Amino acid sequence: MAQLCAMCETTVAKYKCPTCRAPYCSLVCCKKHKETPCESVPAPITPHKSPTLLQDSAPSSFTVMSEDKENEKLTDEQMDVLRTSVKVKELLANSAITQALTQIDNSQNKIKALEKALLDPMFAKFMYHALDEIKLQHNAGARRGFQSIVSSLVPMVLEQSPRGERVFDIYSRLLKERIVFVHGPVNDNMASLVTAQLLFLESENPDKDVYMYINSPGGIVSSGLAIYDTMQYIQPKVNTVCMGQAASMGSLLLAGGTPGCRSALPNARIMIHQPSGGAQGMASDIAIQAEEIIKLRTRLNGLYASHTGKPITVIEQAMDRDLFMDPQEAQDFGIIDSIVANRTTQSSGK
């Protein structure tokens, strides 16, 4: 049974006072309730009609609201705009949208449920239109929050086939074309995803090339080596392309592509340097870490030497400090084999 607001006694309550747990429906009633001392006895529960979409309804569990939440709530006038919007009503005729709204309302984690629902282009269209309808002029923070959620989502693409239509996220669709992205800092999570994709593509067709697009500032050495070793382990040729930047471990992944299949776009940049790290604890612990990082530097120098054809002494000198290179310098150094301005200048690959 729904509870009515203890203040106005006309609207279904959505919140409870954090002190006395008295139910109320809005910030106005909250302020009115605070004008008098809190009562220890909660407001009586009275019957109310079943809630419908876009009408005031009682959630399954009450939320404690304070004045800090004012900018996150819609006003009565804004709710009236939604109720009377012809376009919103037309969109709500889609059962998938109404089902998604119900799932969000019943979810314990509404933000996660909203993010999941927004993967559906139709639901995202509904939400954008709803925001346009109510014109959140004084609630710009809520609009920015919603847009930040949407902007962080992966774009979806529609593919038509004789068997019907299928919706893919953009990376899954490109994976079907054997394209793998190494974008962002290299860490354990990225290494897990990239190595899994490489192994999957090998199982699909061990004789067909893989295309790896790199735009990374580098990151954790062990994570980068996991990707590098997988690149060397699998049977397909790995074509590496630098777009943006390939720094630190990103440059090793770029150089680790199949010889003759390593390239960079004209405005990319490549940077190599020796590994860095820190240690704390007793002197013996610090000595162990220092010895390990020296071994790691020696190993990385050897890998760069094998892929570039440069002597170890040249590699050690070049990697002593950050060495930034444009594509032409990287090609002269041996990290890449060609500079690709457009697809027509690339002898092979996608």
Q: Is residue 248 among the annotated active site residues?
A: yes
What is the SS3 string spanning 111-161? Answer: HHHHHHHCCCHHHHHHHHHHHHHHCCCCCHHHHHHHHHHHHCCCCEEEEEE
Instruction: Report the distance separating Cα 5 and Cα 191, nearest Å.
Output: 53
Strand pairing report for 323-325 and 269-272: antiparallel
Indicate if the pLDDT at residue 110 is higher than 70: yes
> Region 67-86: what's the mean pLDDT?
64
Looking at the chain, the whole-number percentage of residues with pLDDT higher than 70 is 79
Indicate if the pLDDT at residue 168 is higher than 70: yes
Which CATH architecture best describes the domain 179-345? Alpha-Beta Complex (3.90)
What number of other Cβ atoms are within 10 A of residue 177's Cβ? 8
Tell me the backbone φ, ψ of residue 65, rounded to 5 degrees: -115, 140
| The pLDDT of residue 152 | 57
Q: For the chain, give every residue range classified as CATH 3.90.226.10.
A: 179-345
Indicate if the pLDDT at residue 330 is higher than 70: yes
Instruction: Report the distance separating Cα 22 and Cα 94, nearest Å.
Output: 37
> Region 28-43: what's the mean pLDDT?
65
Closest CA to 130 of 110, 151, 101: 101
> Region 50-62: what's the mean pLDDT?
40
What pTM did the predictor assign? Answer: 0.58
* Cβ(230)–Cβ(305) below 8 Å: no
Determine the residue type at 190.
M
Active-site option among 107, 129, 273, 338: 273
Active-site option among 85, 248, 251, 263: 248
* Residues in a beta bridge with 242: 214, 264
> What one-character-per-residue DSSP string does 43-91 give?
PPP---PPP-TTS----SS-B---GGGGGGS--HHHHHHHHH-HHHHHH
Instruction: Report the distance separating Cα 45 and Cα 2, nearest Å.
Output: 7
